Amino acid sequence: MKPPRWFRWRPAAIVLGLAVALALLPPVARISVYTQNQLTLTFVTIAAALAWNWLGGYLGQVSFGHAALFGLGGFVAARLQISAHLPMILAWTAGGLVAGLYALAWGHPTLRLRGPYFSIATIGVGEATRLVCTYWDWFTGGSSGMSLPVTAGLKLQLYWYGIAIALVGVATSYWLRRSPLGMALLAIKSDVDAAGDVGISSVRLQDGVLFLSGLAMGICGAFNASYYSFIEPVETLGFEKSISFVFMGVIGGVGTILGPALGAVVFVLVRQYFIASYPQLYLGLFGVLLVLVILFEPLGLTGLSLRVARRFGYRERPDLST
Amino acid sequence: MIEHLLDLTVSAFLLAGLYATMAYGLGLIYGVLRVVNLNHGGMIMAGAYAAWWAHDQFGLDPYLSIPIILVLAFLVGVLTYAGLVRRLPRGAAGGVQSLLLLFGVWLILRNAAYLVFSGNDQTVLTSYSTKALPFLGAQISVNRLAVFGVALVTLGALHLFLTRTYVGKAIRAVAQNPESCTLAGVPVQRIYMLTFGLGTALASLAGALATGLYAFNPGFGATELLKSFVVVVLGGLGSVAGTAVAALILALVENFSILVIPSYLTSAVGFVLLVLVLVLRPGGLFGQRVLG
C-alpha cells in the first residue's frame, strides 16, 4: 500500500521515535512522578495548541474563546462519567463530539462572513459559556466544581493516552496542511473569492476544520478533567485559558505545522516560571511578548529558527513557512 | 406592569446613548482602516479608571474630566497607530496580526490597571449619583440622563465633523478608497492616525461615561467590546443614524429580555442578537454604508 502523497517518512519517523522514547520513559528511566505529570500535561497542551492552530493558523480565523470548547468537552465527559458511569474513553469521545457540535452552532454563521466576525464572536462565546456553566450547577457543579472517580494507576495510563492524543494531533496537523485539502485551506485563507472560483467550498471546509478543532479541543478538555479528577468552570472556561491557546500559537508560529506544539512546550515552561516569580505581571508580560512577536517575527519560534537556518545556508521548501 | 414597561423602555433609550458612543469608535476605525481595534475594551476600561482616578484624587466631577480624558486617549490612539498598527502589513495576513497585536496591547493595559488599581471593583459616587427625576410616572436617574446628553452631543458633533468639514470628508473618502485618495493628494497615513486617535478617544469617553452607571474592574471592557461589535454589525459601518438605531435595538432587547430569561443570561443576549443578525442580514439592518 502506498502512503498518501502528503506523507513524509523522515518527519514521521522522528515523531514516532520521539513518541516511543517518551512512552518508555516511565517504566525504563523511572522518571519522577512530578516529571511524568508535567509531561502528561504538556502532551495534552500540545494537542490543544495544534487544534487551535487548525483554525487560527491554517484558516486565519483566530479564536479567543477556545476555552469554551475545552471546558464543555470536560464538563460533558465528567458528567457522563459521574452520572452515567460511562467508561472514560467513551465519555471523552462524547465530550469531544458535543464540543465540536457546539463550535459549529455558533461558528457556522460567523465563519461564512469575511473578516473578523468569527474572532469577535469567540470573545462573546467564551464569556457566555463561562457564565452559563457557572450558573447551571445541576450540570457543572457550579463554581465549586465536581470530582471524578480516581482509579489506581490512572496517572500512568493517562501519560500514555496523552502521548497518543498528541500523536494524533501532530498527524492531523500534517494532514490538514500537506494534503490537497490543506492546499484548499491555504487558498481559502489567502483569498476566499479566488478559492471559490477554482471550486473550493469554503463554507464546508471551514465548518469541517472548525468541527475537528472543537472535537480535539473537547477531548483535550475531557482528558484534562480526568487528569485532575476535578473540573470547575472558573479556571477551565476562563479568559486566561482561552488566550493561553492564542499564546502557544503565536509563540510557536501561527499557521506552521509544528510551531504551536513547540509553543505549547515553551508556554508550559514559561508559565510555570512566570506564575512562580511574577504572578501579578503574568498577563502583561505575555501581552508584551505577543506585541513583540507580531511586530518582529510573526512566525514566532518557527520563523526565528528558519531565519537562523537560512543564515547557515539552509534552503527551505517553499511550503514549509507561513 | 405598564409602568414597569415604560421604565424599561426609557432606560433602554438612555442606555442606547452610551452604546452608540462606544460602538461608533470601533466602527470608525474598522470602517476606515479595516482593523478591528481589540484594544477598544482596554480603552473603555482605561477611560473608566481615568474618570475614577480624577474624582478620587482631585474630587473632579467625572463629566468635567471628560475633555482631558478625550485629549489623552486621542494621543494614546495616535501613538498606538504610529508605533504599532502602522507597521503591520495590510490585507488578509495583516488582519489576523492586527487582531493579535491589539489584543496584546489590551492585555498590557489590563495588567497595568490591575497593578496600579488592584482587581477590586470601583465605583464613582457623586452627590447626584442617587438622584432621580420623575418622567411620565417613571423615575429617571440624573446620571443616565447626563450620560445620554453627552452621548447625543458627541454623536451630533461627529456627524457634523464627518459631513461638513474638510478633514471629515477626507476621512470618509479614505474609507471608500485609500488609493484614489493618495492620488488626489489626501495624506492617507495622517488620516489613519487621526481616525485611530478619534476612535480611541470615543472608547475612553464611553468608559468615563460608564462610571456613572456601572462598577468596574480591570476586566471591564470585554462585554462592552462585544456589545460595540453587535451595534456595528447591526447598524452597518459608520452611519451615525444606523449606529443610534442599532444601539437602541440592542438596549431594548437587553432590557426586555429580563422579563423572559434569568438575569445572569442578559450578557449573552447581545451575542445571540449578533449571531441572528449575521445569519439573517449579514450586511447589517440597513445595508453597508460608508461613514456619514
| Domain residue spans of chain A | 9-239
pTM of the full structure: 0.85
Q: Which of A290, A296, A322 to mutate to test the interface with B (most CBs of B within 10 A)?
A: A290
Closest residue in chain A to residue B219, using alpha carbons only: A239
Chain A contact present for B118, CB below 8 A:
no
pLDDT value at position B166? 94
C-alpha distances in Å from residue B46, one per residue of B9, B52, B200: 30, 10, 10
With the CA atoms of A264, A50, A66 and A250 taken in that order, what torsion angle do they form, in degrees rounded to the nearest 10? 60
User: Which of A82-91, A181-190, B30-39, B130-139 is predicted least confidently?
Assistant: B130-139
pLDDT tens, residue by residue, B2-56: 777 888 888 888 899 999 999 999 989 988 888 889 899 999 999 999 999 999 8
pLDDT tens, residue by residue, A2-22: 788 788 888 888 889 998 888
Whole-number Å distance between alpha carbons of B175 and B94: 17
Whole-number Å distance between alpha carbons of A297 and A308: 12
C-alpha distances in Å from residue A71, one per residue of A38, A126, A144, A285, B239: 20, 10, 15, 25, 39
pLDDT value at position B223? 83
DSSP string, chain B: -HHHHHHHHHHHHHHHHHHHHHHHHHHHHHHHH----TTHHHHHHHHHHHHHHHHHHH---HHHHHHHHHHHHHHHHHHHHHHTGGGSPPSHHHHHHHHHHHHHHHHHHHHHHHHHH-SS-B----TTTT-EEEETTEEEEHHHHHHHHHHHHHHHHHHHHHHHSHHHHHHHHHHH-HHHHHHTT--HHHHHHHHHHHHHHHHHHHHHHHTTT--B-TTTTHHHHHHHHHHHHHH-SS-HHHHHHHHHHHHHHHHHHTTTS-GGGHHHHHHHHHHHHHHH-TT-TT------
The mean of the pLDDT values for chain B is: 86
Q: What are the phi and psi torsion angles at B47 (to 5°)? A: -60, -40
Q: With CB atoms and an 8 Å threshold, state whether A123 touches B115.
A: no
Q: With CB atoms and an 8 Å threshold, state whether B268 touches A128.
A: yes
pLDDT tens, residue by residue, A220-277: 999 999 999 999 888 888 888 888 999 899 999 988 999 999 999 999 988 888 878 8
Enter the C-alpha cell of residue A307.
531565519
pLDDT value at position A81? 92
pLDDT tens, residue by residue, A146-162: 888 888 888 888 999 99
In this predicted structure, the answer to whether residue B281 has a pLDDT above a threshold of 80 is: no
Whole-number Å distance between alpha carbons of A99 and A72: 6
| Cβ count within 10 A of residue A205 | 18
pLDDT value at position B285? 63
User: Which of A174-178, A317-321, B212-216 is predicted least confidently?
Assistant: A317-321
Chain B residues whose CB is inside 8 A of the A280 CB are 111, 114-115
A32: alpha, beta or left? (left if phi > 0; alpha if psi -120 to 50): beta
Chain B contact present for A136, CB below 8 A:
no
Q: Which of A58, A61, A66, A119 to mutate to test the interface with B (most CBs of B within 10 A)?
A: A119
Q: Smallest CA–CA separation between A171 and chain B, in Å? A: 25
Whole-number Å distance between alpha carbons of A277 and A202: 45
Q: With CB atoms and an 8 Å threshold, state whether A109 touches B95.
A: no
Closest residue in chain B to residue A105, using alpha carbons only: B275
User: So what's the architecture of B2-280 in CATH?
Assistant: Orthogonal Bundle (1.10)
Chain B contact present for A150, CB below 8 A:
no
Sorting pLDDT into bands at 50, 70 and 90, what band is B94? low
pLDDT tens, residue by residue, B247-276: 999 999 988 888 888 877 777 787 778 777
Task: Report, as an integer, the average pLDDT of B160-183.
Answer: 92
pLDDT value at position B55? 92
pLDDT value at position B92? 58
